[in-house]
Chain A
Amino acid sequence: MTEKILKAKDLKRGMKARVVSINEEEDVCPRLLELGLFPGTEFQVVKIAPLGDPIEINLHGYKLCIRRSEAGCLRLVELD
């Protein structure tokens, strides 16, 4: 399995990614943790809004829409 650092703005439809770390200091991060986006979580991009943002991801058996900018406090790696 090759792992490649990924930025939230480069997420594309169908892509799978894993969270490797999260910056707890940023405003939105506690909520992202509570919604299940913590280190170790894997998710897949399900939809991208026609204007490019927000995106819908599938994690822990449910789907969530977030903005790319707000996923910025996550460090991601690409899975394939």
Chain B
Amino acid sequence: MLNSIDIPKAARALPQIALVGNPNAGKTSLFNALTGSRQKIGNYPGVTVEKIVGSLELEGQQHELIDVPGLYSLTAISTDEEVAIGALLESGQAPELVIYVLDASNLERNLFLFSQLAETSLNVIVALTLTDVVKREQGEIDLAALSSHLGCEVIPVVAYKETGISQLKDAMVRALADPRELELDVGFPQIVLESADRVVDQMNRWGVDLKRKDARCVLLDEHCTTGDRFREIPELWNVVEEERAKIFGHTVQAKTVDAQSRYAWAAKVKRDSYIAPTVPRKFTKSDRIDAVLTHRFFGLVFFLLLMYGVFQSIYTLAAPFMDLIDGGKTAFADFVSPMLAGAPAVQSLVVDGIIEGVGSVIIFLPQIMILFLFIAILEGTGYLARAAFLMDRLLGWCGLNGRAFIPLLSSFACAIPGVMAARVMPDQRSRLMTVLVAPLMSCSARLPVYMLLIGAVIEPRYGPIWAGFSLFLMHFIGLAVAIPVVLVLNKGIFKGKRLPFMMELPKYQWPRWKDVLLTVVSRAKVFLVTAGTIIFAMTVIIWALLYFPRGDEKAYKAQWVAQGHVAQGEEFDHFLEMRQREDSILGRFGRTIEPVFKPAGFDWRLTTAILAAFPAREVVVPAMGILFGTGADVDEESPSLQSSMNAAKWPDGRPLMTPWSAASLMVFFALCCQCMATLAAIKRETNSWKWAAFAFGYMTALAYVLSIAVYQIGSRFG
């Protein structure tokens, strides 16, 4: 993709300035300092995979600032890189100015990309970041020497302290007023340059105008787009091939020469402009921390304890807030309900539909915010990258990589933030795989179902140890199923080359609390918008399907009296409600397809509850409350619901709930994709309904097949 032909400037409304640099060079921090509009900042290489745009005023003129995803080179190996490089080099897209973000603590590798950029016709200046780190390590940068080597202005900045920002803006104004091409010569071997000269001569003779640096690019890089102009013309291409043969003979390879030349140049620049500390320190603080945290034994122990702690606190810290929200919801419903007593349909819509729907979204907010608080802190300190380093072996063998750990972990709280967090994956393929298996992780909305069934069926029979173990198994099963799914996706569906796993472990530091807070708030917002609207709409629809048509109350009353009961009181009300649901659209549908779920041990009530839970699984416990005649106002710990489930029978008198039908139901809930909001998030992240439909399809199929297997095999053994 190297291209050094003149890139036509774009015709756009605002002049554009692009921030370009290696992953983790500090682009995002600088972007935020320049625009004031805060952006997520992470220690994680590749955290910015989208094109992020902000606006910036220079001397009264508005400019568009884009934060280009981190790059190692101008030769793309992934779609993300292709997009990023395209934004710089494609004709008509070139920004008016490029700020190359150069990490002073990692000069050589950062200069590699700079050397490529300097050979394009882009207008480049350098912002030197992490100078505070160099200083802390008692090194020093000779700015004048660096600037003269690079051939452009070099402005040191420390983004989070806002130092150097105004100097950088002044330099930007100067560079925009006087755009220049850099004349960088990294000093390729003489033989290459002579060949390039001969190619230029030959091309000129054929009437093709070519610069020496373009000829060199064509010679050393077969993907160099300059070559596209004459690749198809045999006479011209032969010239290139002949010269290539002269340079390389049969031993040395072209890309190797290119990389060696650039790194040799970078080493020289570093020698001249970096003054190393007189007494080099052997171990930094980060090394000492890592000696423990990546230790082969203590590292793993710490990791497991930390994860346990995080999850424990997600549940315990969130519990009081969730109770508060739940209490608020009930109080509000109780407050509103009497006002609408005159119109039962409206009352039910508002109380059971709208308030229930909104409540079921907001109740997850505490957990989501606490989860992202932890993720942001771990990311801010640099530990998250260690977690990926630790976990890569475990996740890598089946085709994912260590980075998938964060999205998968988040999915144990809720798949929506998990799917959103899959953006940390550096390439499209592993991102897509992560997105597709994230919903298999057992999210906290499944917990009430487990608690209900374990509390009703497992615990009374087998005691608390088996109850705890069942709960653990339910959380484990999604993870266990994810592995073969990834293997199949990897072998069968995503063909093509795999990307190498490469990452860096940033130095440990204290998180910047402002960034942590902003992450939490922005994630909460995304959750409320994506999940909120869909869960809300779905709850209302399901409400309607379970409410209409209204049956004949007199007939129900006659049935009740015929069973020898008195037609009043709470039990009578619950009976009426149950009969209404039984005759509702969804209830009838549940009865019709009962045979489909019978092999899994579900009767029409469980089937209807499952159907009702397809858009959003959180409705399942209230739905069961209604269907088992204990009213919607139940939760997973309600003794009344647990006992009426235990009392429920098949028409032939067999008890409905056995340990195996409970297990089968839990497996179904564990694996099925009963969450429209997750599907919407998948659609949002993959930009196609196709993948959302795929996730839905494969998960539902797995849930169905495995729950039948559990019930059928289990029941054989009693």
Contact = CB atoms under 8 A, between A and B. Distances in A.
14 contacts: A28-B499, A34-B259, A38-B256, A47-B505, A49-B294, A49-B393, A51-B392, A53-B396, A54-B389, A60-B108, A60-B266, A61-B106, A61-B109, A66-B500
Contacts of A41: 263
B290 A49 contact: no
Given A36-B109, A63-B504, A49 B73 contact: no
Interface string B383-403: 000000110111010000010
B423 interface: no
Given A35-B72, A38-B260, A60-B263, A27 B497 contact: yes
Contacts of A61: 106-109, 270
Main secondary structure of the interface of A (DSSP, over half): loop
Nearest to A37: B259
Interface residues of B, number: 43
A52 B254 CA distance: 33
A4 to B, nearest CB: 23
Interface string A21-43: 01010011011111110111100
B226 interface: no
Contacts of B290: 47
B255 A30 contact: yes
Contact of B502 (A52, A62, A66): A66
A51 B394 contact: yes
B267 interface: yes
Contacts of B267: 60
B256 A65 contact: no
A65 B263 contact: no
Interface string A49-71: 11111101000111111110010
Interface stretch (B296-304, B474-482, B619-627): B296-304
A28 B501 CA distance: 9
Given A49-B294, A51-B394, A67-B396, A31 B299 contact: no
Interface in B577-610: none
Contact of A50 (B106, B270, B296): B296
B312 interface: no
A36 B75 CA distance: 15
Contact of B72 (A34, A39, A52, A70): A34
Contacts of A54: 389, 392-393, 402, 501, 503
Interface string B481-499: 0000000000000000111
When A and B form their complex, which 3 residue pairs have the shortest distance between CB atoms, in order from nearest?
A51-B393, A28-B500, A50-B296
A70 B109 contact: no
Nearest to A66: B502
Interface in B248-285: 253-256, 258-260, 263, 266-267, 270
B403 to A, nearest CB: 11
Nearest to B74: A34
Interface in B499-556: 499-505
B331 interface: no
Given A36-B263, A50-B390, 6 more contacts: A24-B255, A27-B497, A30-B77, A36-B108, A47-B290, A51-B392
Contacts of A33: 255-256, 258-259
B112 interface: yes
A41 to B, nearest CB: 8
Contact of A66 (B266, B501, B505): B501
B501 A67 contact: yes
A49 to B, nearest CB: 5
Task: Report which residue of B75, B296, B389 has the largest number of chain A beta carbons within 10 angstroms of its beta carbon.
Answer: B389
A22 B260 CA distance: 12
Contact of B109 (A24, A35, A40, A51): A35
B690 interface: no
Contacts of A60: 108-109, 263, 266-267
B143 to A, nearest CB: 18
Given A30-B77, A50-B297, A50-B299, A67 B253 contact: no
Nearest to A50: B296
Given A30-B75, A35-B72, A63-B504, A50 B263 contact: no
B461 interface: no
A70 B255 contact: no
Contacts of B389: 47, 49, 54, 56, 65
Nearest to B500: A28
A65 B77 contact: no
A62 B500 contact: no
B684 interface: no
B655 to A, nearest CB: 47
A56 B290 CA distance: 12
Interface in B2-50: none
Nearest to B298: A50
A22 to B, nearest CB: 7
Given A36-B109, A53-B392, A54-B392, A70 B500 contact: yes
Contacts of A52: 393
B348 to A, nearest CB: 55
Interface string B68-109: 000011010100000000000000000000000000001111
Contact of B73 (A34, A48, A63, A67): A34
Nearest to B300: A50
Nearest to B297: A50
A65 B108 CA distance: 17
Contact of B500 (A31, A47, A51, A63): A31
A30 B300 CA distance: 33
Contacts of B109: 35-36, 60-62
A24 to B, nearest CB: 5
Nearest to B116: A34
B180 interface: no
A38 B109 CA distance: 13
A31 B108 contact: no
B135 interface: no
Contacts of B503: 54, 64-65
